[in-house]
Amino acid sequence: GSLWYLYEYSKDTNYRDAAIQMTSRIEKEKNNKGTHDLGFMLFCSFGNGLRLTGEENYNGILLTGAGSLSTRFRPNVGCIQSWGSRKGWQCPVIIDNMMNLELLIWAFKNSGDSSFYKIAVTHADTTILNHFRSDYSTWHVVSYDTITGKVEARQTAQGAADGSAWARGQVWGLYGYTVMYRETGLPRYLDQAEHIADFLISHPNMPEDKIPYWDFDAPGIPDTNRDASAAAIMASALIELSGFVGPEKRDLYLDIAERQIRSLASPAYMARPGENGNFILMHSVGSLPGNSEVDVPLTYADYYFIEALMRYRKLVEI
C-alpha cells in the first residue's frame, strides 16, 4: 500500500513495479477466513492498485476477499468476529475491525450484492451501540454471547486497562466512521466521527506535539511511550473528516492534522534514510501489555503517514 501511494505521488514506475510485486505476494489472503483483517491486507494493497492501474484481475481478488471476510459475520451478534473464542470471550470484536468495512462497501458497489452493505452497516451500528462510552472513548474488545447476541465482556488486550482509552483504538474508530460516512452518507456515522474527534482533540492528556501516548490513561504519563502510528492514522482521518463538516470544525481538524504531520516529519519521529530498518517513522507501539512491538517502526504507521501527506497535499493544491 505504501508503495502504491509513493507511485501515485512520484509517477516513478520503479515504485509501481515494486508495488505490483509486493501486492502479488499476498493474493492468497483472499481465501483467508481466519482473520478479520482482510480489509487492511487487501484494500490497502489491491484496492490502491486497482484505483491507480485499473488492473482487472484485482477486482476478482477483492471480491473474493470480501466474501471471505463476510464468513466471519455473526448474525445473532450483528458483528464480524475479530478473534477466535476463548474463556470469557465467545465472540470477541475489536474496534480495529471498523477498518475492514470499506472493503465490504466497495464489494457491494462493484457486485450489486446487498449482503456486503448490510454486513458493514450492521457491524458499524452494533459497534456504536456497544463499543463506546458516554464520552465517546471506546473499549478495545467487546465480546458477545453467540446465542443471545448480548455483550458478555468489555475489556482490553493492548490498552493499559479495560476502562482506559487505548490510543490506536480510538483513532481506528475515528477513521472507520469517517469512511463509513463517506461511503454511505448516513448522518449517524458523521456524528460518531465528530464525537470521537472532539474527544481526542480535547483530551487533557493529548501532548503538545499532538503525538498521543500509547494509551490516554497510561500509567507514568508523561514519562511513557508515544504511538506515532496513532498520530498518523488520526491525521489522515481528520483531513478527510474536515471535508464533511462546517468551516469552524474544518479549520480545527486541519490545524490538528497539520501539527501532527509536522511533528511526525520532525527528527523526533522521522528516521534518517538508511536507519530504522528503512522504515519512515520511529516510536510506535504495537502492544505494550504484551511487550510486543514497543517503541519500534510499524508498517501501518508509515502507510497512514504517507496517506495523510497525500491527502493534505491535495488540499493545499486546491
- Active site residue: 96, 215, 227, 302, which one? 96
Ramachandran sector of residue 167 (left: φ over 0; alpha: ψ -120 to 50; beta: rest): alpha
Which three cell numbers, joined as nine digits, stand for 314? 491535495
**H-state helical runs in the chain:** 2-10, 13-24, 38, 48-53, 56-70, 101-111, 114-131, 167-184, 187-201, 228-242, 247-264, 299-317
- Omega into 222 within 30° of 0, i.e. cis? yes
101, 128 contact by CB (below 8 A): no
DSSP-assigned letter for residue 29: G
For 48, other C-beta atoms within 10 Å of its C-beta total 22
Exactly one of 37, 145, 255, 295 is catalytic; which is it?
37
Determine contact, residues 74/93, Cβ cutoff 8 Å. Answer: no
Catalytic, 255? Answer no
How far apart (Å, rounded) are the C-alpha atoms in residues 179 and 279?
26
What the block records as the C-alpha cell of 143 is 465480546
My answer on whether omega of the bond before 212 falls inside 30° of 0, hence cis, is no
Active site residue 302: no
Residue 220 and residue 249: Cα distance in Å, rounded?
32
Instruction: Take residue 259 and report the three cell numbers written for it.
Output: 501539527
C-alpha–C-alpha distance, residues 287 and 74, integer Å: 27
Q: Which helix (H) or strand (E) holds 143?
A: strand 141-144
Name the one residue in this structure whose C-alpha cell is 491535495. Answer: 314
Tell me if 307 sits within 8 A of 2, measured CB to CB.
no
Three-class DSSP category at 151: strand
Q: Cite the active site residues.
A: 37, 96
